[in-house]
Amino acid sequence: MRSHIKLGRIAGIEIGLHYSWFIIAFLIAFSLAAHFQQVRHDWSTAEIWGAAIITSILFFVALLLHELAHSIVAKSRGLSVRAITLFALGGVSQIETEAPDAKSEFWIAIVGPLTSFVIGVILIAIARALGWTLANDAVNPVGAVLGWLGYINLLLAVFNMIPGFPLDGGRVLRSIIWWINKKPVKSTKIAAQIGQVVAVLFIVYGLFRFFVGANFGGLWLALIGWFLLDAARSSYLQVGILAGLRGYRVRDLMESNCAAVDGYLSVRDFVDHYLLHSGSRCFVVMQDHHVAGIVTPGDTKRVSREEWEQTSVQSIMRPLSQMRTVPPDMPAVKALELMARENLNQLAVMSEGELQGIFSRGQILRFLQIHSGIGEDSRDLAA
């Protein structure tokens, strides 16, 4: 997940917001304001909205503390943490490397919900001292803010402990399976499968509640289930991909038989004579006998068909100078991580100033389909 708004750094970790975070902030502010309006007619509009808005801002601080707890434990165990992104359903810590052992994974995962739980208990204790209870929650604005914040933090701790990988609870489960069977890849797959089962239960129960009781809370449960299902599925896939690529280098997967195309050629001629007739999937663009860039089938779509005649290939190519380059002996997994991090579809493979080939997402998929190592755990033994 990429953050849209960068807020700064804490302990070298970039803190950012995803746009979807505003949805949850507005939901909390509006529903609390509506609730206070109903139960406290004597509060001024400023008090009602002040309490609601301060609660959602402090909710953000609490989420951040939850994620910082993950990140600080990860750092103390020697992992590098790049960024924290807060989004609608919580936060994500972008921990660059995988935990080296089951114990580290366990502590990195569980410290987040623990932090939320402790914050929740402390805030509710203070709020209760100020007269707050769940049934009579609007005794005074300060008590209301602290009480609701505490309540939300407890919910956050419970939600995150749902054993649906990649939620914290799923990671804790994974670390326990890993500790028992000593197989990191296999344990992620089991945790992701359990995560999918939990997600489907959420959806079924949520829809059942919705249709039987016409209860909108049920729709929320179904929505959370759908989110969990998607996350569990993609982490299952990711593990398969990482396992399939382990041990391979960029040179093993890259496309090196790229057809050469003259830069002055029109896009029309390129499509008619090269794209449709050569079996090649990668094309290098030549200028004065040098490779100037690459052009992909997707690049032709950036120009409307009517302009194909007048547009040269070199004006739609990706110049080599602007492409991210990698050496041929880089591990394929590292190159894939780089593409994911920088949102790239292809990398130029260079050695001693010469283009050796193109490493692309499409290439990786074809490679995994041919070497159907996907889904096998034989490599666990080598790990």
Q: How far apart are CA 244 and CA 372, in angstroms?
A: 8
List the one residue out of 106, 110, 112, 142 whose CA is nearest residue 127.
142
**What residues from 133 to 162 belong to the interface with Zn ion (CB under 5 A)?**
160
Q: How far apart are CA 334 and CA 240, in angstroms?
A: 15
Q: Which stretch binds Zn ion (CB under 5 A): 16-24, 39-47, 120-128, 166-174?
A: 166-174
Q: How far apart are CA 182 and CA 167, in angstroms?
A: 21
Smallest gap from residue 82 Cβ to Zn ion (A): 16
**Which CB atom, from 136 or from 234, has the smaller least distance to Zn ion?**
234
Q: Residue 44 — left, alpha, or beta (φ > 0 → left; ψ -120 to 50 → alpha)? A: beta
Smallest gap from residue 262 Cβ to Zn ion (A): 54
Q: Which stretch binds Zn ion (CB under 5 A): 16-24, 167-175, 258-266, 281-289?
A: 167-175
Element (H, E) at 6: strand 5-10
**What residues from 273 to 332 belong to the interface with Zn ion (CB under 5 A)?**
none
**Which CB atom, from 65 or from 292, has the smaller least distance to Zn ion?**
65
**Which CB atom, from 60 or from 210, has the smaller least distance to Zn ion?**
60
| 105 is an interface residue for Zn ion by CB under 5 A | no
Smallest gap from residue 321 Cβ to Zn ion (A): 41
**Which CB atom, from 112 or from 373, has the smaller least distance to Zn ion?**
112
Per-residue mark of binding to Zn ion, 110-129 (x: CB under 5 A): --x-----------------
> What is the CA angle 284-287-293, rounded to 5?
35
Query: What is the maximum alpha-carbon separation in the chain?
Result: 81
Q: Work out which of 168, 175, 299, 373 binds Zn ion, going by CB under 5 A.
A: 168
Smallest gap from residue 67 Cβ to Zn ion (A): 6
Q: Which residue is nearest to Zn ion (CB)?
A: 112
Q: Which residues contact 159 (CB under 8 A, 6 or more apart)?
A: 90, 167, 224
Place of tokens 């989110």: 227
3-state helix, strand, coil in the chain (%, to 5): 60, 15, 25
Smallest gap from residue 284 Cβ to Zn ion (A): 45
Smallest gap from residue 230 Cβ to Zn ion (A): 18
Q: How far apart are CA 312 and CA 328, in angstroms?
A: 30
Smallest gap from residue 111 Cβ to Zn ion (A): 8
- Contact residues: Zn ion, CB under 5 A: 112, 160, 168
